[in-house]
Amino acid sequence: MWLAIQLALKAQGQTSPNPLVGALIVKNATIVGRGFHSQAGTPHAEINALREAGNKAQGAELYLNLEPCSHFGRTPPCVDAIIQKKIMKVFVGMVDPNPLVRGKGIRRLKEAGIKVAIGILEKECRKLNEVFIKYITTKRPFVILKAAASLDGRVAAESGDSQWITNEKSREYVHRLRGAVDAVLVGIGTVKKDDPLLTCRLKNRKEKDPIRIVVDSTLSISPKAKVLNLNSQALTIIATTPKASIKKRALLEKKGARVLVIPSQDRVDLRLLMETLGKEEITSVLIEGGSEINTSALQSGIVDKVLFFYAPKIIGGQKSPLMVAGKGIARVKDALVLHNITTQRFGDDVMIEGYIKQDFQKN
């Protein structure tokens, strides 16, 4: 099952809105077939593994990190092929949370006389597809809030200078994150201050650029901003409100951007924005903004996972911007508590990963 998970990861960032799935076929303690799902619309992992195994699949065992599909989607049901090839036993990491599947594939296999074992490395399998689980059960994207700061929580000096607080290894990891998500989101303040590219730039690797989303309630973005003038196949989306200038909207659309008007008052309602992005089959969003958008995202309740990078530096300054600002809470007991905490080192930098909800892996 662990090898199946590693196979699934080969397509990380490429399968949206589908899950990551890896498959191994084992006969007489020997792997005779391997496969993974590479992209939506292409054969599923088990089909690829069955093709590699050929006649050796008969009487063999199949290992899958996710229950095989039992319905017609972009491709035919995988359970039919598993039954046809006379697999003897199927080991499933987790039940598919998709309402169209959810146990039906397992039931079909059992009805065909195939033995099924469920829940092998289930926690790891659920973490692998945490994005898919959130999206398929809520139709809203899985949201990751990333921020980088000094040990005293500053994201920049009083002058506004922020390059670079974290080291190159940390920044490379963030670019890998960009390659793994559907979209990266910032506020207009970040665009005006840093004029970022928001592309995926990795040495010796070619990753897709994420969709770029800028939250700009009044469409004050400059037509010369880099996110509007990139040689990238990924779309730039500007999220705004009905009060934004129609003339400016037409100008931005002429430059190739897509303007989403979110029914909001003075500021873009981030919850409504996530609902809209979900309808567009955007399954994951990485927030990489400043303290204002970070605060709004946390207050609106859209964040699922937090990634905070800390560099071994002390910046100080009463006016130096913090990772999260806003009014704050009155009592410590009301603080937002993270769960399922893990840490990771990138040179001297430390990344803390945590989830907003304690039951983040449940449907």
Catalytic residues: 46
CB contact set of 253 (below 8 Å; sequence gap of 6+): 259
CB atoms within 10 A of CB 30: 9
Tell me: cis bond preceding 17? Omega within 30 of 0 counts. yes
Q: Is 37 helix (H, G, I), strand (E, B) or coil?
A: coil
Q: How far apart (Å, rounded) are the C-alpha atoms in residues 250 and 259? A: 9
Task: Give which of 181, 253, 145 is closest to 12, Cα–Cα.
Answer: 181
Beta strands 115-118; 211-215: pairing state: unpaired
Specify the residue for token string 């619309």: 41
Q: Is 266 helix (H, G, I), strand (E, B) or coil?
A: coil
Q: 202 - beta bridge partners? A: 205
Q: How far apart (Å, rounded) are the C-alpha atoms in residues 277 and 73? A: 21
Three state DSSP letters for 299-316 = HHCCCCEEEEEEECCCCC
Helix (H) or strand (E) holding 115: strand 115-118
Six-digit token pair at 178? 């960009």
Q: How far apart (Å, rounded) are the C-alpha atoms in residues 344 and 297? A: 24
CA angle centred on 75, ends 109 and 24, rounded to 5°: 55
